[in-house]
Chain A
Amino acid sequence: MKLTELFQKKTFVITGEVGPVKGCSRLNGGPPPDYIKEALDIKDYVHAVNITDNQGATMRLGALAASVLTKQFGLEPIFQITCRDRNRLAIQSDLLAACTLGIDNVLCLTGDHIKIGDHKSAKPVFDIDSVQMLKIAAGLNAGHDMMGNKLSQATNLALGAAANPNFEPLDLQLMKMEKKVAAGCEFFQTQPVYEPKQFETFMKKAEKLGVPVMFGMVVIKSPGMAKFINDNVTGITVPEAWIKELDSVPKADYKKKATAMTIALLKEIAPMCQGIHFMPFGWSDIIPEVLAAIRPSFPQ
């Protein structure tokens, strides 16, 4: 099922995200791997689940194989595909492969740089960028490759992209989003922000693009996690006030407090956008409670 069909029906779309393991995932009659278990935990609460692509430039099971396996377990995968590890031939070939194997949704990303991952001496590819990938993917949907050669069968993929409401200058981010939409982007998933006003400023500009925007929610599990993000993850900033509030309770109550704070934030955010993309990092179990609490805030 393409996410675009849901957006067309004005459904408020909920997605999750899991990262493939560092290892093979052949089942051999055994239990599913951890990322599938994590996805199954939220199966009844989300429309689809992002499958990350060598996230953090760390070598793992390929996102396409993991997406196919996720689909076999009854979830709708969003295959994340980055420009870091593939040239233009490989990107087109993998998009054809994805559609062939039953994938309906892709998220076209630049990809984290090799330098932040676990194979720092690898050659970064970046033959094309995310805007160009979207245009190429739209071409495959229209039945031709990027050189104009006709395909024996066109793809039928819903094309998503990332956006960062934290970006300064914001107008530069909007300029890139505008290019993505012109290239064929049909929905956005954002990086998280923790101040509704900041997201409101972003959405006032982004809504003019006429493409659904899903707010990305990284649940902050502890002050330590917030500090780690602020120190090591570019593009996301957890405000001091958020950290202080979470730290105002004993460690044993972090989960309860984080859930309450997430609910409060999303109640304000949900009316401004068309969906929420959860990145729970192991706390998938709070999603049902969060969704139940914020559902009345979904836009009609």
Chain B
Amino acid sequence: MIGTTKKPLEEILQALAGYEKIAVVGCDGCAKVCMTGGLDQVKELAATLKEEGKEVTVEVSPERTCNIMHSRNFLNPCKDQIAAADAMIVLGCGGAVQIARQTTEEMGLTIPVKVGLDSVGHMDMVIPGVMAMEQCQECGQCILNETGGICPVTKCAKSLLNGPCGGSENGKCEVDPDRDCAWVLIYNRMAALGELEQLKRYMEPKDYSKMAKPRVLYIKEGRCA
């Protein structure tokens, strides 16, 4: 999922300064799981905006706002309420905000679409409802087959491909003593699997052209460019 955190209310109010009628849109996908932008948080923000003297024209939370199909299905029926708004605020990831904007444009509406959350990465839930962590950078060249299913590109602070740096100490990272050194994790995993020999292989520099933004996924062709 895409991890999100709430922007401070001050920042949201600043983004909405000068706009009186607000459409509040959430996302019942990842943001719901992060407890930042599901329908509950949409209602909370709407109540706060009302306390601040704003008028809320609609409170809605598509199943996955980042998917244009869902955004259309949820937002098109609310077109009149959205058209009545001076601005829309989206409690979703940056992708959800831009798909919501696309949806308003498809409706022929030209209203500012603001973001109420900060997107903080591709997160995997490791303790349900408590903690998610970044484990994949979507680098376009997965090397998990070579590293015991543990990603050094993401879990090593320096994304090192050929082993640990000199800053690793007692199995912990130089950047954060509470964080495991990815390379010690990889080494221990490969040792347990009896595959340490494989770890001795030189890893070539990554091909960062596979991460050149903005990437486009052609689903039917199974191709990313």
Contact = CB atoms under 8 A, between A and B. Distances in A.
Interface of B is mostly: loop
B12 interface: no
B161 A172 contact: no
Interface stretch (A67-75, A126-134, A200-208): A126-134
Interface residues of B, number: 31
B202 A113 contact: no
Contact of A124 (B158, B174, B187, B200): B158
A234 B163 contact: no
A183 interface: yes
A128 B158 CA distance: 9
B195 interface: no
A182 interface: yes
B203 to A, nearest CB: 8
A225 to B, nearest CB: 18
A127 B205 contact: yes
Contacts of B196: 175
Nearest to B176: A115
B82 to A, nearest CB: 37
B166 A164 contact: yes
B167 A113 contact: yes
B48 interface: no
A250 interface: no
A84 to B, nearest CB: 8
B33 interface: no
Interface in B164-214: 164-172, 174-175, 177, 183-184, 187-188, 196, 199-200, 202-205, 208
B157 interface: yes
Given A179-B162, A179-B202, A168 B170 contact: yes
Given A128-B205, A131-B202, A132-B205, A113 B166 contact: no
Nearest to A83: B158
A42 B205 CA distance: 39
B164 A167 contact: yes
A78 interface: no
Nearest to B202: A179
A268 interface: no
A128 B157 CA distance: 13
B73 interface: no
A163 B168 CA distance: 12
B195 to A, nearest CB: 13
Contact of B174 (A112, A167, A168, A171): A112
A157 B162 CA distance: 22
Contacts of A22: none
Interface string A95-134: 0000000000000011111011000000010111111100
10 contacts: A88-B205, A112-B167, A113-B175, A124-B157, A127-B205, A129-B161, A129-B163, A168-B170, A234-B169, A235-B166
Interface of B: 157-172, 174-175, 177, 183-184, 187-188, 196, 199-200, 202-205, 208
8 residue pairs, one from A and one from B, having the closest CB atoms: A176-B163, A131-B162, A234-B174, A234-B169, A110-B165, A234-B167, A126-B158, A129-B160
Interface of A: 83-84, 88, 109-113, 115-116, 124, 126-132, 135, 146, 162-164, 166-169, 171-173, 175-176, 178-179, 182-183, 191, 234-235, 237
